[in-house]
Amino acid sequence: MDEAREKTDPAQTELLDGLLERLCGAGRAVQCAALALALPWALLAAPGAAAEPHGAALFAAHCAACHGAGGSGDGPAAAGLDPKPRDLGDCAFANREPDADWLAVVHEGGSARGFSPLMPGFGASLSREDLEVVLAHVRRFCRDSDWPRGELNLPRPLFTEKAFPEDEAVFTTVANAEGDGDVVGEFLFEKRIGPRSQLELAYELRAREEPDGSWLGGGGDLAIGAKHAFHHDFERGRILSAGFEAWLPTGDDERGLGRGSVVLEPYLAWGQLLPRGAFLQVQALAELPTDRDLADELQLRAALGGSFTLRPFGRIISPMLEVIAAWELAGGSTFKLDLAPQVQIPLNRRQHVRLNVGARFPVTRAEERDTRVGVYLLWDWYDGGFLEGW
């Protein structure tokens, strides 16, 4: 072992000592002894370990001991780790995460995002440029280009549908800030199907204030939907999707708790990355009741925003402004325009539980329509349990 340690470069030795310290400190005597014998030779034999520091060589020197030469989580140190390293070639896992999250974990360590503290941080031993080169190498492990990159998973606005297929659970509440009380809550569950598709189920709860000051509430309508990203291009920073929702009249419309008709909502959604962390999301949709006594409506929604952190590798904050235009096609076309400023903030270190708070202000026909406040609680359940990562 001493001979191998002498031939191992200082960065590798530092990694070795850190892993041994973590495992021994956890009371794993057998794993500790085995790793103390095996790791120096494994690091010495890693392909490219002594070569010029490019992606493959840096990965071999600093990462392969745990993650394996091919990133599949089968390195010599992996046997003693709990939890085991993730398979970096699993596109369903790797491609949905943006570079910013990868860099935060590699620079700061697993604890920075609420993951395992056994994942060490390399910010003190490798430069930002080195980490980016390693990450570019890791990106090559996923060989299926059909999976959209996580950078195209833009922050979710309050009202505009995003184009990226997701695994999320969202509870949204929108309520009048003035005038008669009116509250609509929506439970939404989204399940990604393969690289590009998504199924969803939504259910509403409604409450409204009666003229005598009392409140009436109950279950509302139920919706089923689907979405498919038919185009994505990471280099150009764009993603395009088509989808639909079908609202079923499960709520009592006579009591003001439902739509009173099946309503079909086909839509197109577009997401576009812009310079300096900015982004644009656009949705064009139609609301088409099957009851022909009800009016059809066309809508164009757009959300312009940006993302920033208060410190390097900190929590990502995303302010947005939505513009919502609607044309009600009954007799003469009626036009409505709203503005909805808002901000999305992560509630935990892993950033898979997020809160969005905003308001929707009527711009046209403001004397007939009320200002409304909106809030949602989002849980990206693929990234872990709701109580994990805090």
| DSSP secondary structure string for all residues of 263-292 | EEEEEEEEEEE-GGGEEEEEEEEEEEESST
Examine the domain organization and report whether 161 and 67 are in the same domain: no
- The answer to whether residue 390 is domain-embedded is no
Both structure tokens of 47: 């392909």
- Kindly report, residue by residue over 303-336, the tens digit of the pLDDT: 999 999 999 999 999 999 999 999 998 766 789 9
**Does the pLDDT at position 31 exceed 60?**
no
128 and 181 assigned to the same domain: no
Contact 69, 91 (CB under 8 A): no
> Contact at 8 Å (CB) between 56 and 74?
no
Amino acid of residue 224: I
For residue 97, what are the domain limits? 2-139
CATH number at 360 reads 2.40.160.40
Same domain, 183 and 65: no
Same domain, 69 and 159: no
Q: What is the tally of structural domains in the chain?
A: 2
Q: What is the DSSP string of 204-220?
A: EEEEEE-TTS-EEEEEE
The per-residue pLDDT for range 98-132, each reduced to its tens digit, is 999 999 999 999 999 999 999 999 999 999 999 99
Tens digit of each residue's pLDDT (9 = 90 or more) over 218-255: 999 999 999 999 999 999 999 999 999 999 999 999 99
Question: Per residue in 243-289, pLDDT tens?
Answer: 999 999 999 999 989 999 999 999 999 999 999 999 999 999 999 99
pTM: 0.84
pLDDT value of position 46: 45
- Among 224, 229, 223, which residue's Cα sits nearest to residue 241? 229
In a domain, 375, yes or no: yes
- Which one of 80, 112, 139 terminates a domain? 139
Q: Tell me which of 108, 139, 170 is where a domain ends.
A: 139
How far apart (Å, rounded) are the C-alpha atoms in residues 133 and 116? Answer: 23
Task: Check whether 383 has a pLDDT greater than 80.
Answer: yes
On the question of pLDDT at 45 being above 60, the answer is no
Amino acid letter, residue 15: L
- Tell whether 200 and 241 lie within a shared domain: yes
E-assigned strand segments in the chain? 168-176, 182-193, 197-209, 215-233, 238-248, 263-273, 278-289, 296-306, 308-309, 316-330, 332-346, 353-362, 372-379
What pLDDT was estimated at residue 330?
A: 78
Pick the last residue of a domain from 95, 120, 139.
Answer: 139
**Parallel/antiparallel/unpaired status of strands 215-233 and 197-209:** antiparallel
Is the domain of 129 the same as that of 175? Answer: no
Query: Does 239 lie in the same domain as 118?
Result: no
Token output for 13 = 């030795």
Please indicate, yes or no, whether residues 181 and 71 belong to a single structural domain of this protein. Answer: no
Assess whether 84 and 229 both reside in one domain. Answer: no
Residues 93 and 121 in one domain: yes
Residue 270 lies in a domain: yes
Q: Is residue 144 part of a domain?
A: no
Q: If we measure between CA atoms, which residue out of 377, 298, 371 comes closest to residue 340?
A: 371
Residue 297 has pLDDT above 50, yes or no: yes
**CA-CA distance, 300 to 325, in Å (whole number)?**
5
Residue 301 CA to chain centroid, in angstroms?
Answer: 20
Q: Do residues 43 and 162 both lie within one domain?
A: no
How far apart are alpha carbons 346 and 344 in whole angstroms? 7
Q: Judge whether 389 lies within some domain.
A: no
In a shared domain, residues 163 and 120:
no
Gap between the Cα atoms of 346 and 27, Å rounded:
34
Residue 87 CA to residue 80 CA, distance in Å, equals 16
Is 388 a domain residue? no
Yes or no: say if 256 and 206 are a contact pair by the CB < 8 Å rule.
yes
